[in-house]
Amino acid sequence: MNQIIPYGKQEITEDDLTAIIKILKSDFLTQGPAIAAFEKAFNEYIGCKYSIAVANGTAALHLCAMALNVKPGDKVIVPPISFAASANCVKYCGGDVVFSDIDLNTLTLDFDKVKLLLKSAAPGTFQGIIPVDFGGHPVQMDLFRALADEYGMWIIEDACHAPGGYFTDVKGEKQMAGNGKYADLAIFSFHPVKHIAAGEGGMITTNDEALYHRLLTLRTHGITRDQSVFKNSIVEVGGDPTKGQYPGWYMEMQELGYNYRLTDFQAALGQSQLKRANAGMEKRLTIAAKYEAAFSNIKGIQTTYLNNPSGEKFRNGHHLYIIQVEDRLGLYNNLRSKNIFAQIHYYPIHLMPYYRALGSKPGDMPVAEKYYAHCISLPMYPSLKAEEQEYVIDNVISYIEK
Ligand SMILES: Cc1ncc(COP(=O)(O)O)c(C=O)c1O
């Protein structure tokens, strides 16, 4: 192949371009109606009550940690296998990240290990938990909710990898990743390698009205325009006390927030892409099934395709398709020489120099570290052509069987 096959790739259609241009020709490049329209469409897709569009997934995590009042000394449980942002949001607010190992089957937080961690500590030691739907595998969030309630903790679900994925809860009900039924807040990213590409962009979802209103103000400097909650007096700010009215221009900064807004043209692109999300999901499932069929009988390749074949109980969102092999570096280099740009997700967060300086060390998370030594993510995106995937499969198998 002359063309590079990356591990993930956005797809921009004529409809996407039309949607962006419409906004560029309109009155609002930011803070206009496209944001609310995207948020409403996202509510419908994910099945949550409220969505808050923000600048990127990291900003989404930061705002969630702020909205849940993470403060210095707070301890938050995070898996070591994720993008660093899943942990960093705790540090932004001065809290402490406590890593808990993953389950080698699901590659997400090991529920039993979290349970043990909580049991072994004094009550009230931990304030929150950030399960990550890693690779697209939706965490069994109802179990974590029960545990969080028992210990008085909040949950932020990092659903960046799993829009469109779902699990079935103990009541037998299908729950879309990030739908706000069990987690207090969930977050998504619209980075180009993700399911919905907006350049940069993110979304927070929740069913909690109070958190929703707080997040709306935190997204824009902690400023509110809602007269019913203003704290300063009408007279002081130059309004008309006889009419009980604040002046039209007045807005109030009530707490420290940020400018974490999304632009309207990014929102329009996101909404346009969202229309293809179901079709994209189907393609991801087809690609995963084809990899699985090709690799399942090859000695030396461990697959992590976790779907129930009936597709009813569980659906992996398949941001990634990961295999584990003995000679990972050799396979990676060999694929690169063939223009297949596979990727590694992820180097364990607790072994990043920043977190080592805070006390973590090799051996702390044995399952995550073992997984990291062997994992490799193969190309997975809806526009991956059949012949490209066959080329990837042939090259992986011929390297492993050499
Ligand atoms: C699991 C996970 N969480 C958070 C993020 C952060 O999202 P963003 O890149 O939009 O800031 C990413 C993106 O790479 C991610 O993969």
345 Cα to the center of ligand 1, angstroms: 12
Does the C-beta of 266 come closer than 6 Å to ligand 1? no
Give the atom of ligand 1 at the shortest distance from the alpha carbon of 58.
Answer: 11
> What whole-number distance in Å separates Cα of residue 30 and Cα of residue 264?
5
Cβ-proximal residues to 149 (8 Å cutoff; 6+ apart), any chain:
none
Which ligand 1 atom is at minimum distance from the Cα of 191? 10
How far is CA 166 from each of CA 137, 288, 312, 316, rounded to the nearest angstrom? Answer: 8, 16, 9, 7
Mean pLDDT of 352-363: 98
Pocket of ligand 1 contains residue 158 by CB under 6 Å? yes
The tens digit of pLDDT for each residue in 128-151 reads 999 999 999 999 999 999 999 999
- Residue 167 pairs in a beta bridge with 175
29 three-state secondary structure? coil
Is 100:110 a contact under the CB 8 Å cutoff?
yes
pLDDT at 310: 63
State what percent of residues in the chain have pLDDT above 90. Answer: 96
pLDDT digit string, tens, across residues 206-240: 999 999 999 999 999 999 999 999 999 999 999 99
Global pTM value: 0.97
75-78/96-99 β-pairing:
parallel
Taking the CB of residue 229, how many other CB atoms lie within 10 A of it?
Answer: 11
Two tokens, residue 112:
């039993």
Q: Which two tokens stand for residue 310?
A: 């009936």
Strand, helix or coil for residue 223: strand
Q: Is the pLDDT of residue 23 over 70?
A: yes
